[in-house]
Structure 1
Amino acid sequence: MKITVNELRHDTCYFFYKQIRTIFFISIFIAFINLIIDIFVKPNIYIISIIENNNFINAHALLELINSMNLEEKHELLKYSIFKIIESLMSKTVLLGSIIILISSVSNSEKKTIITSICSLFSFLPSLFILNFLSTIIIQIGFMLFIIPGVLLSITLSLSPIIFSFKKHGLIDSIRLSISISWRYIKIISPCILTWMFSKFILTVFLDHIHFLNKNILDLISNVSMNILFSILIIYLFRFYMIFLRS
């Protein structure tokens, strides 16, 4: 069976509009939890103000800032960085797991109760978190080397959670298969990844220029929008892999 971008785009839009209420609920719920965590679990206020009020043009400027800090401030900065990384990974993992379970249920015509869906999600999350952690490290190393390797790694590793969700392959095998399949079908997978990245960039720039709204409201809008964009990406990739298995 031939896989085309137009077919995948059509299937993605159809599924999204059919499940739009559920996807919005999941996106808003996860964004709201993030906002609550950010409000009530705050590291050192001084460190946060430095990070939020400084636009680092390059790594040299950031290194200069770190070198000017005392030991206690460096320790607080490290705690803040670890906190944000874990929060981001957990949010991504829960969103990814939720959307995958939603697609699987609808695709298999299963009518799961909320309790059953939650149990399926939580049994799936620990392994998915490890997979996300490994993929994120590999992708970030690529971006540290240069932008193009980072983008290529983002494309080639994008299928790994989808492959893993079918429970036929382990973590490493899912990553290996993702690289192999994504590279073979890079002309089909790369448009959605690049569109997702570009959309995130445009949204971030747009929201950064809005100053009449409360920061917490802006953060909520940003998180919900990012979650919806990521959900659309997962739907596209999941549909691609389903067609790939049938071909």
Structure 2
Amino acid sequence: MSITAGSLYRDTGNFFRDQLVTIVLMALLTSFITVIVGHALTPNAEQLSLLAEGSSDSASSLFEMVQNMSPEQQSVLLRTSAAGTFASLIGNTLLLGGMLCLIPMASSQKRVSALRAIGTAAPLLPKLLLQTFLITLLVQLGFMAVFVPGVILAILFSLAPVMLANDKLGVFGSLKASSKLAWRNVKLIAPAIMLWLLAKVAIMLFFSTLTLLPANVSAVVLNALGNLVSALLVIYLYRLYMLVR
């Protein structure tokens, strides 16, 4: 039986509707954790005010602007960037682990909550954290190059978390196996990855123009919507892997 993108989209939509409440709660919970971790690690307001001191509008590039900063300003900028990156990494790992446990449990007709799904994923989280970090790093480096390599790497590594959770291949073994399997099914994976990227960009652009909500509330809602889009992608990729393997 041939696998079509249309049937995968229908399966994804059906599962998403059936588990809507659990997935929404998981998206909100992981978003809240992301914002809390980021807020806890971000330098305080007094330190952040250093970034505005002596800033030059004449800098022609970000690199030049960073060069013109004092060592204290560079340190604050580095800590702020690291805090946001680490918080996103924690939130994404919890969401991914929870979804990878929710899907098989719900498919076997078990009642499962968002907290139970994330708790069940606890033994998997350290490996998943390392793998998510490596994939994020490689994909971001690809985006910084010419953009296209980033998309290709995102496609090739897209099945790695599912393989890590189901086949016990290890972090690097699942990355290698995902590259081979994803390349053979690139026509089914590439459109889903592109839609995911476009949806994330659209959400970010929408919230960049929205100033009515408080900053923390806006951050939670923004991350939650992004998590819902990512959850849809995980369901799609999980279903695809179950069919092609």
Q: TM-score, normalised by structure 1?
A: 0.88
Deviations 1:164-220 (A, max 9, x none): 110331211111111111111111011111001111111111111122222222212
Report SS of the residue matched to 2:169: coil
CA RMSD of superposed structures (Å) = 2.3
Residue in 1 that maps onto 2:56 = none
Residue aligning to 1:217: 217
Code of the aligned partner of 1:124 = L
Unaligned runs of 5+ in 2: 53-58
Contact 1:44 1:76 in 2 (8 A): no
Q: Which amino acid aligns with 1:236?
A: Y
The answer to whether residue 20 in structure 2 is matched with residue 17 in structure 1 is no
Distance 1:231 1:9 in 2: 13
- State the Cα deviation string for residues 2-21 of structure 1 (Å, max 9, x = none): 11100100000000000000
1:83-94 matches, within 5 Å, as: 83-94=83-94
Question: Which structure 2 residues correspond to residues 124-203 of structure 1 after superposition, within 5 A?
Answer: 124-203=124-203
Higher relative contact order (CA 8 A, sep 6+): 1
Is the Cα–Cα contact under 8 Å of residues 22 and 113 in structure 2 kept in the other structure?
no
Q: Which residue of 2 aligns with 1:55?
A: none
- Contact 2:156–2:178 (CA<8 Å) still a contact in 1? yes
1:106 has 2:78 as partner:
no
In structure 2, what is the equivalent of residue 80 of structure 1?
80
The answer for the alignment partner of 2:204 in structure 1 is: 204
Distance 1:40 1:140, change over 3 A: closer
**Aligned residues of 2:140 and 2:150 also touching (Cα < 8 A):** yes
Structure 1 gaps, min length 5: 53-58
Say how many residue pairs are matched. Answer: 239
Decide whether the 8 Å contact of 2:101 with 2:121 is kept in 1.
yes
Call closer, same or farther: CA 1:193–1:49 in 2, change over 3 Å.
Answer: farther
What per-residue deviation string (whole Å, max 9, x for no partner) do you get for residues 113-152 of structure 1? 8886454211110000011111112112211221011111
Separation of aligned partners in 2, 1:241 and 1:178: 10
